[in-house]
Amino acid sequence: MAGILRIFLALVLVIGGGAALYAAITPDRLTQSELQSIGEGDAVAGETWFWAGGCSSCHAAEDAEGDDRLRLGGGRVLKTEFGDFVTPNISMHAIDGIGAWDFTDFANAMTHGVSPEGLPYYPAFPYTSYARMDLADIADLWAWFRTLPEVAAKSADHDLKFPFSVRRGVGIWQTAFFREGPAVELATDDPLIKRGQYLVEGAGHCGECHTPRNMAGATDFSLWLAGAPAAEGDGIVPNITGGSGGIGDWSESDIAYYLESGFTPDFDSVGGAMVEVQENMAMLEPGDREAVAAYLKTIPAHDSPAR
């Protein structure tokens, strides 16, 4: 009898451990009550979030111009220390893209990093920032997406090193590192600065490139926007705080003008991956670029970390 009891207890522990592991690797989803409170999106308003979110910078063809920036067939390769990530087709093509999705699928991807099949997305897709967006704005973005053209193009699979190739394991990463709250706590209710925070920390996902990461690839919020090694190559993404090596000598108008024109206060011009980001920011209303500038002049200053 004692032997049977030991076997039973062992089975309970195995099953319980398996259940705990499964829970850890299974992403959360939005609740029906959260989704039911959201009405139909406004496509016109959604265009703002399209440009702020830089969707075309990853999902349109390289060097795309004009209307081709709205053709989101994916296929770009991001070479990183974890392996090669390939951007998916997010056009309205029902087979190759996301045309068969509904708003629930889109909202869960944006806010929880989970696919319609329940698999976690790699954080190369910056849902870790998009999660800070309001669902109403995500509904507007979805309405805008539905106005965009279908693109017939099947994206290749990611080519990642082990163990990063085990996609279910991303659920453990999400449990450990996925943080939905603000990146910094601001001691102000100034609407311009709060708007800037929303743009930078949410749709603009500036911290994904400008903030250092730990060995697991998670954002180091203690050095928010202090600059970081580029995801690809040997370059450095600059410090955009007021600390040493940053943009402390730039005024708010300097920052806003740079985002509009691509020119620095020293009349240098934007380069590298920031070219497409600046082109996206130039599509926003002037007040939004001013809000971004006001936020960047308010956040804690950090010296550029040693390389």
Determine the Cα–Cα distance for residues 263 and 261; give it in Å rounded to an integer: 5
Structure tokens at 254: 């300097």
On whether the CB atoms of residues 196 and 158 are closer than 8 A, the answer is no
Per-residue confidence (pLDDT) for residue 25, from 0 to 100 = 58
Domain termination site, one of 161, 181, 201: 181
pLDDT exceeds 60 at position 53: yes
Q: What is the mean pLDDT of residues 32-54?
A: 90
3-state secondary structure of 175: helix
Mean pLDDT estimate for the chain: 88
User: Residue type at 127?
Assistant: Y
**Paired sense of beta strands 159-160 and 83-86, if any:** antiparallel
Determine the Cα–Cα distance for residues 230 and 236; give it in Å rounded to an integer: 5
Same domain, 112 and 194: no
Domain termination site, one of 157, 181, 205: 181
Same domain, 150 and 195: no
On whether the CB atoms of residues 129 and 202 are closer than 8 A, the answer is yes
What would the pLDDT profile of 102-131 be if each residue is shown by its tens digit?
A: 999 999 999 999 999 999 999 999 999 999
Percent of the chain with pLDDT over 90: 72
pLDDT exceeds 50 at position 18: no
What would the pLDDT profile of 186-215 be if each residue is shown by its tens digit?
A: 989 999 999 999 999 999 999 999 999 998
Residue 238 counted as domain residue = yes
pLDDT exceeds 50 at position 8: no
pLDDT exceeds 50 at position 1: no
Provide the domain limits for residue 210.
182-307
